[in-house]
Homo-oligomer: A and B are copies of this chain.
Amino acid sequence: MSKAIDFYFDFSSPYGYFASTRIDDLAAEYGRKVNWHPVLLGAVFKTTGGMPLPMVPLKGVYSYRDFERSARFHGIPYQRPANFPLATQTAARAMLWVREQHGESKAVEFAKAVYRAYFVDGVNISDTDSIASIAASQGLDTAAVIDGANSAPVKEHLKADVDAAIARGVFGSPFVIVDDEPFWGFDRFDQLEAFLKNGTI
């Protein structure tokens, strides 16, 4: 059995969202499983000196255009959210809690629902009530998810996961590592596929 693919993403990242709509199918085609790792770009940027795209002069304006054009080009539903970027700790912690309690596949379903809520339905996913609603839509116990997401162990867990990601060289979203080969960006999915197919590039 081939090793699982590590898929790192921030819930506030449009390119991470685009990748989230493709990664499972792509992996399955080559007999791989995917481990989904929510990370916090804010913490990553403290290491790299990066900043959210919309805040970068010139690049920010271009980025908004590129998000929409890339979505159309790849046929992915996308609606520019009113609040962007935003804090994703609660969403990430809730996902970790769902995984602990209900396993990977339920956690991935939850993550996809969070992404859809944000990038398709315009929901402000930094808001705890919104995360509660998304949890409810997935048949989860709302109060338990929010309590779990706010619990000290889950907070510690996310912090440790983000530190581990940075230690592996993760500096953006999406970021995929397969057999120690790193791929940054949805626009490297063509190379990722070639690597999955041939084991080398």
Contacts and interface: CB of A to CB of B under 8 A. Distances in A.
A53 to B, nearest CB: 11
Interface stretch (A34-42, A60-68, A109-117): A60-68
Contact of A182 (B51, B65, B166, B190): B65
A164 interface: no
Contact of A69 (B56, B166, B201): B201
Interface residues on A, range: 20 to 34
Specify the main secondary structure of chain A where it touches its partner: helix
A185 B15 CA distance: 15
Interface of A: 47-51, 56-59, 61-62, 65-66, 69-70, 72-73, 166, 169-172, 182, 184-185, 187-188, 190-191, 194, 201
A70 B191 contact: yes
B65 A57 contact: no
A62 to B, nearest CB: 6
A62 B57 CA distance: 24
A155 to B, nearest CB: 24
